[in-house]
Structure 1
């Protein structure tokens, strides 16, 4: 079906033939070549107007196809070209709903035009040029219909207020299918400028090297982009060619706007804060850069050709912001039949509540769609967030099923938010849900993802009352939902592993138990597997990976009594059991209950094993460094507090011991009390060394390319250092010094990277050869070797289910038991070593709980202090109900 009305194609190529238009993969493409490529692609698309879906990336072929479709009058539907689950699902849903005639995408053979029919089944309005989703890759049931004039006029207006010329060079930092990202390409090409195509993150050092090499004059960001920039040290970068930076895609905190404006002034570039919506093609307003520092919080003034009005009720100062201009959309498309519809919108009701300030600038003060009814009360969710922020609580507020849902990045903050929200809003606490999440999720466009939070609340509520599931009924989603609920990760996907989501050596105890209930016996490498892989393994009833022991379903075909006996036992991961067992050997040996040495050195290997699996999981480099730093602080803070307190009360320890610096102080080589915390020093400085190592990007990339080879080389270096310092056998305090015991940490690291049978055999041999002779005590060496071999070959150890809480508690409190036992057992060492051992564990566990509780109280006190400051300085509050 085609339209007989004349169609005017749109060309956005405004540059001189020999000027560079695009830089793709380091190659320069001038406007003449780009026009030639567009012409050829236009011929491929044909003369009959068709709906063209483009799986977009910031790459040459998608942009050529987009420009060719515009010139040929073919309406374009831009979607994400990413290969993740969400993007694939969204593309499939749009194909099913809107039935494009051509799908342009990347496949194994390269860029292809998948012509689903020779003509078109759609009746396409002659003005229709672009169809855009309003919500990025996650999808929306409706599309925004944009005309050629919408696209052209908005690109021209942006080029005008940014004063774009052929000398400008933008670099892509946002997805092409996102209206903001697309507007950067449109406006620069129309102005004859050039665009550097990049899909790298602004946290990637290579991104900035390329930006500098190509003399980039601008880049665009959403609020989250600027969070990443500040965290990555953007203020220290030297970018002499940078002329301006733009920000849109949501409201950025005023403090960030001011900091960036001042930074730009110092560095010689300008900050443009902008406001827009997909329904206005891209931009509706901008804040002149000279006002950014002094008028942060305002969206500024309308773009050239546009106008605002405030639709206020009853003479109120604020009301819905309404926009008029040539870039206002034609209307929405809910079904393919809507493609034939003409211009149905003359003005855009933005849904934002705004006011016109006395300085002539417009300011957004709320969002109409964020007003909800909960328990009969009309609440402004943004205002709820603001009031809780004044209470010192950073919270995200959402609503579902007439319930108020509150989310914080700590369970105690979520609970506190629930209590305060009930008091501030009048909503009963029983209809307020509070949830702790690992971090606040964002959409692919960097905006706050409230939909993901609502989904997470549903998962968490279901997890609180789980229903039995048979292995035959296991789904990928069930495993993903378990990860999301237990780890507090709302955006956990089907391709995210436990380690990749930030799981650690303690949280995996709970996850492993819950997974075993759901899936049955777990493979040894389950923390590195995705929900898809784990669910598929459970459904097949076996593990097909080499080197993994096969185990039939022990419950199948057994009588009820046998199944009950099986349910009274469970399998706990070997590292957890070794952690608890090694700690018991340490304390019991020190208290003279036993005489089995080697527990602390074994514990170092277990720590290295967990270091490789969790802190050094294959995630973004910056995430690795944050995890290493967090782990180091978790050791250093309580250790320094405790040792310092004991030193002050008894004079037993020196300041360098309290600061965990005993390794750096010259000694006579004999054991003394200052060496009691050698294990913590070894672990802390191992983490610090790993952080320093992986702060070098080249080393980080090398380890990712060859994780086993890297760990093997590192172990060789550590063993060489050990032999150089101590020889084959370490004597006296040599066996506790960081440079001499570091090899044990790296050996545990290597065990975690040994993912095949041959590699496990090799690591087993290294373990035996490297360990025997180290102490000159065969029994002690046998404890270390036996434990490490168990770590290599036994994925999990079968225990009575009733013993699991005890083992998990001891493992969780191991740091505090180790810290405190030195002052607990001595009075009982001669008379009742069993009592000294028992009390050491009880005191350590109690100390752990006291420390956690004190940390929570300190956080609450700091929040209270902030609230007092806010209350003394903040203006009187407006009611939260509207």
Structure 2
């Protein structure tokens, strides 16, 4: 008798040196993966045990999962990003082994029982949540043959080949994402592991770099693809795209099928449930344009039938599926793990459907109380019963992008929202609670779900709390309005979509951290509705670019005052400016939106500088009038004069204007979006033409201060922000180390400071430090431009006799000027510059919000 285990997991070594898993750190071949699987299997032991694994798209997790499948250990696959859900599953099922990341981020195998505390059926291979929710005790029991047969069917109709490379877009613990892993490893194809969103330009750079041939998406994925201009991306290796996880509107199915036909790739629409391991039907690509409203035909080895339903039209009934991939049954507790097949290979899907004359099946509705929100299957009855356990009488319905719960008023509505979110496994921002005096009922006394859906169309009557319960969305919207001076803030707004830039970034981060109690990662591209709850204690840190801005301005002022001689801070700031330009202005928004945002930022740099210099000239006559208009670099006298003190401000303004003009050219804009890393590296090469004198700059004394010569520092910072892989970072670092030496006329110390600062920008995203230090750094970074502009007038009278007070006073005056400018802009939320930008581009479309990848499989 053959030992239990999933066949493809035991035969990985058959593909030898072919790539299996591709990561930013390197490639793991099938032979190497098989060795890791064998080592993990020995660690799991020879006694068959229940193994809980926290799913994640990384090498160690996948290797451990395959080891358990190969050795015959039943796997309970849990959502690795939801600690509360994992703890709930552990409490409910008492696994013998728990595999998850420890506090240091390392994979830890915790042996709870030396043997097994359970009676495990010989066929049991995998346990998956019925809804993907966090901690729901109801699990789907899948057998070894379920997993193997479904992987074979999917690989067959998709024609997966050994040369294929699928880039991961879905969580491993979601059956759709897991089926991508199974079917590709079955055929010896490769998986490119990443957690990047398809809305991130770096995802497509990764896709091209590693020769991606396919990716999977749920309906929400295609919303993001529309926003990033997927139809214009150059993806020469793309063979096919798959869609499942919820119904995609027929017109969009047709649109993507036609796009694929034009661009040489196929579009597969698929239908499935966790209870059938993953897939039950697929729509052949050649039929997608003519039959986009259908789910197609059964997968190889499977079949459908329509069972009559009372009160349904004659040709409509419940869709029933038969096949070797149908689950053994459900488990609602550890005692069910001993059960075998209780369904006989037949699954009632709960969907109402018809079989057309051409043999294709069309789903027309649902019988059961389930809904799909962002592609996640939600058990509405479970949510309602959970709310009832907490004293909330409710009626729940699901929309495409939110769960709506009508709750009888008189209780803690925000508490009800939190409970519903936990029960459904959704972010709190995806749950809406409507307070009602009495739950709506039909004439027969049954819950009136259509009335609840209608309630959701009314303005929301309750405050929407931020996920950590400390601040509601109204407070967040008010904060964004206050800091950015933009009146039209919604829950779908993000810092970037509202035109945030480096000048407002630090102030916003400090205020946001104060409001939320922590600063979420990638908050600047996260929608207000998607801020996630705080999990555990977070050590205070400051972003590297913020710390560099703070340190650089202190070095600049201190060196000018002659407290020390540590030059190079201004050139590091040029790199930081390029880095922040790439982060804040190169979003997925259209050309016109990018132009407006950049012009507003240029105005926020230029206008306060011009106002200060104009006042200084009016009071002292110390500078030429060209300085007040930031034209010294163009119209000023040759050679060094005091007007060159403000070279840095002029350089930033000139460079930003030149770049924005360049990106207004459609072909250049498309090229930057298609090759987000190679484009700035190309600009580095162009900038080196003036750096090395290929294009000569006459004034050799001022060449290290001239915008056209120092542009390459800006481009290096831009490239650093777009460097997402190890090789990208190595390339940028090599460019820095190779080109900076010799630029500062033999000033080695200056070169070391510039190289060190730019390399930190490439390799280190944040630095842990005490909270007080991070706050001080944030204030100095926010005020860095204003300190630079004002410090010449502050320190000069004090430099000789009182250098330290001169430094402190220079910093304080700059911070004060920053506060004055901020106050003036806030008095008119639209601000003069904002209004000028809108008038200039009055014809443009509204800004497109920058979206984040949801935490769950959508």
Give the TM-score normalised by structure 1: 0.53
1:478 aligns with 2:466: no
1:766: which partner in 2?
788
1:96 aligns with 2:83: no
Distance in 2 between residues matched to 1:768 and 1:633, nearest whole Å: 24
Provide closer, same or farther for how the CA distance between residues 631 and 527 of structure 1 changes in structure 2, counting only shifts above 3 A: farther
- Once the two structures are superposed, the pairs formed by residues 254-403 of structure 1 within 5 Å of their partners are 254-311=250-307, 312-314=309-311, 316=313, 317-346=315-344, 347-368=346-367, 369=369, 398-401=404-407
1:840-863 C-alpha deviation (Å, 9 max, x unpaired): xxxxxxxx9xx9xx99xx99xxxx
Provide closer, same or farther for how the CA distance between residues 690 and 136 of structure 1 changes in structure 2, counting only shifts above 3 A: farther
1:70 aligns with 2:50: no
CA contact (8 A) 1:546 1:757 kept: no
Provide closer, same or farther for how the CA distance between residues 545 and 760 of structure 1 changes in structure 2, counting only shifts above 3 A: farther
State the shift of 1:196 in Å.
Answer: 3.1
CA contact (8 A) 2:486 2:830 kept: no
Distance in 2 between residues matched to 1:80 and 1:326, nearest whole Å: 26
Count of residues in Structure 1 that have an aligned counterpart in Structure 2: 572
- Once the two structures are superposed, the pairs formed by residues 262-661 of structure 1 within 5 Å of their partners are 262-311=258-307, 312-314=309-311, 316=313, 317-346=315-344, 347-368=346-367, 369=369, 398-401=404-407, 427=451, 434-435=458-459, 459-460=463-464, 477-479=468-470, 482-487=471-476, 504-505=484-485, 525-529=510-514, 531-533=516-518, 622=587, 629=594, 632=597
Distance in 2 between residues matched to 1:759 and 1:298, nearest whole Å: 56
1:48: which partner in 2?
47
Distance in 2 between residues matched to 1:268 and 1:545, nearest whole Å: 49
CA contact (8 A) 2:406 2:452 kept: no
341-350 or 692-701, which moves further after superposition? 692-701
Provide closer, same or farther for how the CA distance between residues 432 and 526 of structure 1 changes in structure 2, counting only shifts above 3 A: closer
State the shift of 1:247 in Å.
Answer: 1.2
CA contact (8 A) 2:202 2:676 kept: no
1:230-268 C-alpha deviation (Å, 9 max, x unpaired): 332332333333322211111112222222211221222
CA contact (8 A) 1:632 1:688 kept: no
Distance in 2 between residues matched to 1:508 and 1:767, nearest whole Å: 32
Provide closer, same or farther for how the CA distance between residues 431 and 241 of structure 1 changes in structure 2, counting only shifts above 3 A: closer
Distance in 1 between residues matched to 2:592 and 2:129, nearest whole Å: 36
State the shift of 1:131 in Å.
Answer: 0.8
2:777 to 755, 763, 767: 755
Distance in 1 between residues matched to 2:252 and 2:777, nearest whole Å: 45
CA contact (8 A) 1:21 1:189 kept: no
Q: Report the aligned-residue RMSD.
A: 5.9
Distance in 2 between residues matched to 1:319 and 1:503, nearest whole Å: 56
State the shift of 1:279 in Å.
Answer: 1.1
Which of 1 and 2 has greater Rg? 1
Give the TM-score normalised by structure 2: 0.54
1:578-626 C-alpha deviation (Å, 9 max, x unpaired): xxxxxxxxxxxxxxxxxxxxxxxxxxxxxxxxx99xx989789636889
Provide closer, same or farther for how the CA distance between residues 532 and 271 of structure 1 changes in structure 2, counting only shifts above 3 A: same
1:106: which partner in 2?
101
2:495: which partner in 1?
none
Provide closer, same or farther for how the CA distance between residues 625 and 240 of structure 1 changes in structure 2, counting only shifts above 3 A: closer
State the shift of 1:146 in Å.
Answer: 0.9
Structure 1: tracts of 5 or more residues without a match: 386-394, 406-413, 437-456, 464-475, 490-497, 512-521, 536-543, 548-610, 637-661, 670-682, 703-716, 725-751, 774-784, 798-805, 820-847, 860-882
CA contact (8 A) 1:621 1:700 kept: no
1:728: which partner in 2?
none
Higher relative contact order (CA 8 A, sep 6+): 2
1:90-118 C-alpha deviation (Å, 9 max, x unpaired): 22222222222212233437333221221
- Once the two structures are superposed, the pairs formed by residues 105-254 of structure 1 within 5 Å of their partners are 105-107=100-102, 108=104, 110-136=106-132, 138-254=134-250
Provide closer, same or farther for how the CA distance between residues 174 and 721 of structure 1 changes in structure 2, counting only shifts above 3 A: same
Distance in 2 between residues matched to 1:51 and 1:187, nearest whole Å: 24
Provide closer, same or farther for how the CA distance between residues 523 and 218 of structure 1 changes in structure 2, counting only shifts above 3 A: closer
Structure 2: tracts of 5 or more residues without a match: 372-379, 385-393, 410-416, 418-431, 442-447, 492-506, 521-538, 543-575, 602-628, 637-651, 664-671, 682-701, 710-773, 796-807, 847-858
Distance in 2 between residues matched to 1:78 and 1:164, nearest whole Å: 25
State the shift of 1:202 in Å.
Answer: 2.8
Provide closer, same or farther for how the CA distance between residues 808 and 217 of structure 1 changes in structure 2, counting only shifts above 3 A: closer
1:454-491 C-alpha deviation (Å, 9 max, x unpaired): xxx7643x89xxxxxxxxxxxx8332xx24344479xx
State the shift of 1:76 in Å.
Answer: 0.6
Provide closer, same or farther for how the CA distance between residues 300 and 789 of structure 1 changes in structure 2, counting only shifts above 3 A: same
Provide closer, same or farther for how the CA distance between residues 12 and 171 of structure 1 changes in structure 2, counting only shifts above 3 A: same
CA contact (8 A) 1:523 1:795 kept: no
CA contact (8 A) 1:79 1:137 kept: no
2:33: which partner in 1?
34
1:168-213 C-alpha deviation (Å, 9 max, x unpaired): 3333222221111111121122233333333333344444444344
Distance in 2 between residues matched to 1:430 and 1:254, nearest whole Å: 24
Provide closer, same or farther for how the CA distance between residues 510 and 69 of structure 1 changes in structure 2, counting only shifts above 3 A: closer
State the shift of 1:340 in Å.
Answer: 1.8
State the shift of 1:225 in Å.
Answer: 2.1
1:508-541 C-alpha deviation (Å, 9 max, x unpaired): 9999xxxxxxxxxx99922345623499xxxxxx
Q: Partner of 1:23: helix, strand, or coil?
A: strand
CA contact (8 A) 2:485 2:831 kept: no
State the shift of 1:700 in Å.
Answer: 12
Q: Partner of 1:40: helix, strand, or coil?
A: helix
Distance in 2 between residues matched to 1:131 and 1:621, nearest whole Å: 42
Provide closer, same or farther for how the CA distance between residues 348 and 203 of structure 1 changes in structure 2, counting only shifts above 3 A: same
Distance in 2 between residues matched to 1:349 and 1:487, nearest whole Å: 45
Distance in 2 between residues matched to 1:202 and 1:161, nearest whole Å: 25
Distance in 1 between residues matched to 2:39 and 2:181, nearest whole Å: 20
Distance in 2 between residues matched to 1:488 and 1:509, nearest whole Å: 6
1:811 aligns with 2:793: no
